[in-house]
Every structure is written in C-alpha cells, then in structure tokens.
Amino acid sequence: MSSSDTRKPVHLAVYDTLADWETGHTTAHLARAGYEIRTVGPSREPVVSIGGLRIAPDLALDDVRPEDSSLLILPGADLWDTGDDLAPFARTAREFLDAGVPVAAICGATAGLAREGLLDDRDHTGAVSFYLAATGYGGGERYVDADAVTDGKLVTAGPTEPVAFAREVFGLLGVYEGEVLDAWYRLFHDSDAEAYAVLQKADAL
C-alpha cells in the first residue's frame, strides 16, 4: 500500500529468551517506512530477551488476527528448542500463511515452523540443515543453503543473517526494490560506501 496510514501493523513476536539482535534492522526500517510495529507476547505480561531487555507486549497472541496484520515476525529464542512453550506462535504462523499474510522467521523460529509442518512444502533455510532435520520434519529436500530464503509469503533465515533477513522482508513487502534494495543490503551487510549515495538519492536511509 502506498500510504502509511492505510498500512496494517507489523506484528513482532516477543517471548522470554528472544534473540533481540535478530530483528532490529527489519523493524527499524519498516517503522521508518511507515509501518506501526506492535509486539505480541504469550500474554500481556512482560518478557525478558536473551540480552536482558524487558518488553511489555502490546498484545497477547490470542488477540492477533491475520486480517489485521501486514506481517508476523518470529525471532529466535532458546525456548524454541527447550519445549513446546512457543508452539502457539508456530500455529499462529500457520493461520497467517493460510490467510495469505506474510510470516518471517529467523533462527530457532525456523525449527518451530518445521515442527508445525510449515517447511515441508516450502523452500527455506535456517541455522544449518541438520538443525532442522533434528525436528523430524519432512522438508529436508526443500532446505536451501543460503543466507535467507523467500518462498511465497514465507521468509526464513539463520541466526547470523539479520541483514539478509531484513532484505527479504523489505523485498516481500515492497518497502525497497531493485537497486535500492540491493544498495541497502550492500551498505548494511558489506559496509559498501558507494551504496550510501543510492539510498540517499532514494530517501531510503
């Protein structure tokens, strides 16, 4: 959509042990592009990130509907690998994808989606192939050894690729395109000074 006041919010999942460094590029530049960022917790009770940041969620997961959202972002967290506490977030991701609303998952969240069966029939990536294979999922043949992957409305990335993750989200939502998207990635991933001029000209900084 062309006007920020007609865009639906972007929903960022937050939960204890979330990897707070993985989504910063994504949410910062989406906010600058006019998207409202709304945090979604298991409840409205505060959560604490792996970096010790205390976050009071704007919404509880039960209150989130795909039709009210532009995108659901699922960060990594230790809790993805220590039990089923975050499984409701993967089920919500299914609801979003079924409704044609984008989902972006990074790091441990990709394992959550794998357990939910959402990667069985979609190209995807993650930390490493054997990390996802350990979930017992059926999508091993669709694993792509890349920094980030978009298949339809789903973006996936490994824990070391927050910039590539953001790039895929921006491309999917049409925030940046073409040479501007490429320049954004070159600036923030490669520290390419020449990319700065492209972004400055496009008013994309």
Is 174 considered catalytic here?
no
| CB contact set of 126 (below 8 Å; sequence gap of 6+) | 107, 110, 111, 114, 132, 143, 156, 157, 158
Work out the number of other CB atoms within 10 angstroms of the CB of residue 82.
11
Quote the CA–CA distance of 20 and 49 in Å, as a whole number.
6
Alpha carbon separation from 141 to 110, 136, 194 (Å, rounded): 15, 13, 38
- The secondary structure of residue 35, as a DSSP letter, is P
Among the options 10, 107, 154, 180, which is catalytic?
Answer: 107
DSSP H or E run through 71: strand 71-74
| CB contact set of 10 (below 8 Å; sequence gap of 6+) | 27, 30, 35, 36, 37, 38, 69, 70, 71, 73
Which residues form the catalytic set? 107
